[in-house]
Structure 1
């Protein structure tokens, strides 16, 4: 029913913000013909800024043969945007009502053999596809930001999704240079965001209780677990840390400590004081730097990490 994922040449990205625009940049860098849909022509300048930032990093990392920004077409008409598309990446705002209306329209405009992936970070496909006439081809394809650099894509279907569409999406994303993670169950927040949220909540607790500042939190992460996590996930890090005994030794020795009150995963109350501490702390770390400059520096350093991993694999 679905085309060969290895032979896809034309993709459409719906939305030109940091995520939708980032997806467009990624697909261009991988050598696809890309149609970008903008809700309004006034969004063009913001998208071009995203593309300019992304393209420098993508060029540094290495473009696929035939990759070119000239293979981009920008339109503001949805029907024109999806015409001829072999895959659609939807990155509309996180508004369930809006997404349902969009998917109802896509169900009418797009032939059933075209898989549609949603970049949503918090909604479920079961909810999104409710008004779509062809929900079986709709999947979550949730990237990590920035999507043109970080490889992860979390994939899961909704109640009405065809399992074959999920498998197809996994194969397509992999052929497009991504690291697909096909989830076993549909849960809000998926895998990586839920793990990130747990860390974020504990960080907020420490700031709220005066135990650490925002700068302390980032210093601990940047100089502690973060470099290791670029190489090993949490599970393998603990497995390797205990030598020949591996995870079994880890759980036997440190398992009882799991009952100690070290973490507080219920979210703290977001008081004005906590909000001010976080905002002020981040502004102090930014030290007046422009967001565009900080994003460019972030991308430059991510490229260096990715290149180091690739060259030593």
Structure 2
């Protein structure tokens, strides 16, 4: 967000709007091959069909057409607003069990097979030879390195990890991870493609990508949650309520660092950090969110939290 005094909530500028429209238009003309029809693969299939793409499914499941039809029926009601009419999905959906034939002519290949390095290496060795040279290869892997998965490919420069939140058709975050051999052009193309289907890509850099950022945060919270329940501080049910009625609500509206920035005027988490760390975090948060305009951030945070509560109340009201 821009620095400065009082401001309106940030809106995309004209260039961003044109870029987003162009990305959507280009994506709608693309053929996307999804390899794997498990939980993650089904979420991707629903999302891509919802955004008007032509989707080819490659799965070892003999009942793949039935599994996908049942999976779509479950997922379609929760696609983002403005998605395509599901009545048109069958006309843009096809099946090809052989992955090499499935990727022929594809613009994007999204792999969602089990987290098994040898399985993925063998798969990328095959599809690397069969997919067009221009094709973007996106792996849904959560903790495997693109270089390791593409070790048997002649050129793994177009292989990028696009690790989705679960379920992919609902949770916007996709963590994008490049290997040492991944080209910057492939990373940029992955970001543009994911934005075109309504996702929020975040490019991870450095050694932290040994596991996804979201998974590491979740694991840290879970460790502390388990400790609190084990020591009898709270019950499991109470712990879930603590998260859903405070941290979960808060983090749906603002992340930890914007929250840190907004709490800073009242001391907030500074009292729990050493002076050097607190100063560095305050400087970085201030640089990201602006030294002024705090009231605008607070109003935006509260509006988002209230909207989440209203939406949840509507779901709960349906019984």
* Corresponding residue number in structure 2 for 1:54: 75
Distance 1:92 1:258, change over 3 A: farther
Equivalent residue in structure 2 for 1:72, among 68, 93, 98: 93
Question: For 1:157 and 1:227, how far apart are their aligned partners in 2?
Answer: 32
Are positions 1:230 and 2:248 aligned together?
no
Question: For 1:55 and 1:258, how far apart are their aligned partners in 2?
Answer: 49
Matched-pair contact (CA < 8 Å) for 2:43–2:169? yes
Extract unaligned runs of 5+ from structure 1.
Answer: 260-300, 308-313
Alignment coverage as a number of residue pairs: 258
TM-score under structure 1 length normalisation: 0.75
* Corresponding residue number in structure 2 for 1:254: 272
Q: Per-residue deviation at 1:49?
A: 2.6
* Corresponding residue number in structure 2 for 1:160: 181
Question: For 1:224 and 1:15, how far apart are their aligned partners in 2?
Answer: 36
Runs of 4+ in 1 over 6 A off after TM superposition: none
* Corresponding residue number in structure 2 for 1:190: 212
Distance 1:17 1:104, change over 3 A: same
Equivalent residue of 2:56, what SS? strand
Equivalent residue in structure 1 for 2:62, among 26, 41, 47: 41
Equivalent residue of 1:24, what SS? helix
Q: Per-residue deviation at 1:164?
A: 1.3
Q: Per-residue deviation at 1:227?
A: 1.3
Are positions 1:215 and 2:237 aligned together?
yes
Distance 1:211 1:64, change over 3 A: same
Q: Per-residue deviation at 1:252?
A: 4.3
Give the CA RMSD over aligned residues. Answer: 2.9
Question: For 1:257 and 1:144, how far apart are their aligned partners in 2?
Answer: 34
Q: Per-residue deviation at 1:172?
A: 1.2
Equivalent residue of 1:13, what SS? strand
* Corresponding residue number in structure 1 for 2:151: 130
* Corresponding residue number in structure 2 for 1:170: 191
Matched-pair contact (CA < 8 Å) for 2:33–2:58? yes
Question: For 2:309 and 2:116, how far apart are their aligned partners in 1?
Answer: 30
Matched-pair contact (CA < 8 Å) for 1:19–1:147? yes
TM-score under structure 2 length normalisation: 0.73
Residue by residue, what CA displacement relative to the aligned partner does 1:245-303 show, whole Å, maximum 9, x if unpaired? 38xx44643324999xxxxxxxxxxxxxxxxxxxxxxxxxxxxxxxxxxxxxxxxx999
Matched-pair contact (CA < 8 Å) for 1:57–1:303? no
Matched-pair contact (CA < 8 Å) for 2:260–2:269? no
